[in-house]
Amino acid sequence: MGLYVLRRLVLAVPTLLGVTVVVFALIRVIPGDPARLVLGLQASEAEVQRLRSELGLDRPLPAQYARFVARLIRGDLGRSIATGEPVAREIASRFGPTVQLAVASTVLATLAGISVGVLSATRVYSWVDYVAMGVALFGVSLPVFWLGLMLILLFAVQLRWLPAGGYGTLAHLVLPTVTLAAFSVAIVARMTRSSMLEVLHQDYVRTAWAKGLTARAVVLRHALRNALIPVITVIGLQFGALLGGAILTETVFAWPGMGRLLVGAIVARDYPVVQGVVLVFAGLFTLVNLAVDLLYAYVDPRIHYG
């Protein structure tokens, strides 16, 4: 197992290196001069050129990329063009709120999605099944930013039960979590239903019914555990999607996470911050995929990693 984990971590290095190449190239395609944005429209051309030289933006792109990778190997993500602060420090200050929001949304999506999927599968083609899958389809179709605004309008403006935005208390976490988890709940519910329907028709499930086991034991102990492999895969992928979706959610709810930091950096053409945030997102997604693969062996003892 340890050798497998080490091999996966080594193989992740080329992936992350490829991410740096793509992000480095794309961010520089966006129109706009970071030096001009920092100094303002009133700055002279000489001042802009001096700042570009200080930031290394006047060098050829291959030289800029080589400098970025050399710093990255030393654990240095550079300094923000807009604020002058180390990128690692800015990301560290925003890392906790983003992970908190993503984890809370993943937990909600997992619990609600699996519960709805199991309920729908055990009552297939009943009104419960149709309502559950209809709600799931509705959840998949809702844009994140629209749902967030509607929840603010209802629970913060009309009912005044929850704050419209901000960070700091459990109440501030409720609306962003529900908004971000809505899409994932629908995806997990549909996958759970599909996987459960396939498992419920297997011979060992019929045998469990024939032995006189309770419905709870048959569904949860025999059927659900064997149906979890594809569900776990979807949950792992959705966690990565939640990190990306947090960009919109954090903007709508003024949540001080990496998503808002990334949006502000893109607007300001703050190349080091954009590269650092995307690299952190890619690293988290890689680690989540590894954790999902290891979880397979726990759920299904027949799976071994040599």
Per residue in 56-77, pLDDT (tens digit) is: 777 788 888 888 888 888 888 8
Burial of 245 (0-12, 13-18, 19+ CB in 10 A): buried
pLDDT digits (tens, 9 = 90+) for 216-265: 777 777 778 778 888 888 888 888 777 766 778 888 888 888 888 888 88
3-state class (DSSP) for residue 211? coil
**Across residues 6-33, what is the average pLDDT?**
80
The CB-based long-range contact list for 263-270 (8 Å cut-off, 24+ gap) reads 264/82, 265/80, 265/82, 266/27, 266/30, 268/34, 268/37, 268/38, 268/81, 268/82, 269/27, 269/30, 269/32, 269/33, 269/34, 269/37, 269/81, 270/34, 270/80, 270/81, 270/82
**Which of 73, 102, 117 is at the close of a domain?**
73
In this structure, are 245 and 293 located in the same domain?
yes
pTM of the predicted model as reported, rounded to 2 decimal places: 0.80
The predicted pLDDT at position 303 comes to 65
Say how far apart CA 235 and CA 237 lie, in whole Å. Answer: 5
The Cα 292–Cα 196 span in angstroms is 19
Q: pLDDT class for 199, splitting at 50, 70, 90? A: confident
Residue 301 has pLDDT above 70, yes or no: no
Whether the predicted pLDDT of 299 surpasses 70: no
Q: Are residues 160 and 50 in the same domain?
A: no
Check whether residue 184 and residue 68 sit in a common domain: no
Site of tokens 């480095």: 24
153 lies in some domain: yes
Q: What's the burial of 109, exposed, middle or buried (CB within 10 Å: 0-12/13-18/19+)?
A: buried
Q: How many structural domains is the chain composed of?
A: 2
pLDDT-wise least confident of 40-49, 117-126, 154-163: 40-49
- Whether the per-residue pLDDT at 196 is higher than 80: the answer is yes
CA atoms of 98 and 91, how far apart (whole Å): 10
Q: CA 87 to CA 94: how far, in whole Å?
A: 11
Per-residue pLDDT, 207: 81
The pLDDT of residue 305 is 59
Alpha carbon of residue 69 to chain centroid = 25
Radius of gyration of the chain (CA): 24
Mean pLDDT of 28-53: 75
- Residue 173 corresponds to which tokens in the numbers above? 């976490």
Average pLDDT over residues 176-193: 88
In a domain, 3, yes or no: no
CATH number for the domain including 229?
A: 1.10.3720.10
Distance, CA of 191 to CA of 94 (rounded, Å): 32
Indicate whether 164 pLDDT > 60.
yes
* 116 and 53 fall within a common domain: no
302 Cβ contact partners less than 8 Å away, ≥ 6 residues apart = none
**Are residues 37 and 133 part of one domain?**
no
Separation between Cα atoms, residue 108 and residue 173, nearest integer Å: 12
**Both 150 and 283 in a single domain?**
yes
134 and 239 share a domain?
A: yes
Return the number of other C-beta atoms located less than 10 Å from residue 50's C-beta.
15
Q: Which three-class secondary structure state does DSSP give residue 159?
A: coil
Residue 85, in any domain of the structure: no
Q: Which amino acid is at 97?
A: P
Same domain for 177 and 52? no
Residue 1: its pLDDT value, please?
64
In a domain, 304, yes or no: no
Q: Which residues pair with 79 in a beta bridge?
A: 86
Q: How far apart are CA 218 and CA 213, in angstroms?
A: 6
Q: Are residues 36 and 121 in the same domain?
A: no
Whole-number percent of the chain with pLDDT over 90? 2
Q: Which domain holds residue 34?
A: 16-73
Please indicate, yes or no, if residue 265 is contained in any of the structural domains. Answer: yes
d(CA 164, CA 174): 10
Residues 153 and 183 in one domain: yes
Could you tell me if residue 35 is inside a domain?
yes
Look at the block and give the residue holding tokens 């529900």: 178
Mean pLDDT within 197-226 = 78
pLDDT confidence tier of residue 306, bands split at 50, 70 and 90:
low
Is it the case that residue 92 has pLDDT exceeding 80? yes
- Kindly state whether residues 137 and 186 are assigned to the same domain: yes
Domain boundary among 24, 42, 73: 73
From 6, 40, 73, the end of a domain falls on 73
Any domain includes 5: no
Residue 182: predicted pLDDT: 85
Residues 46 and 174 in one domain: no
Q: Is 24 contained in some domain?
A: yes
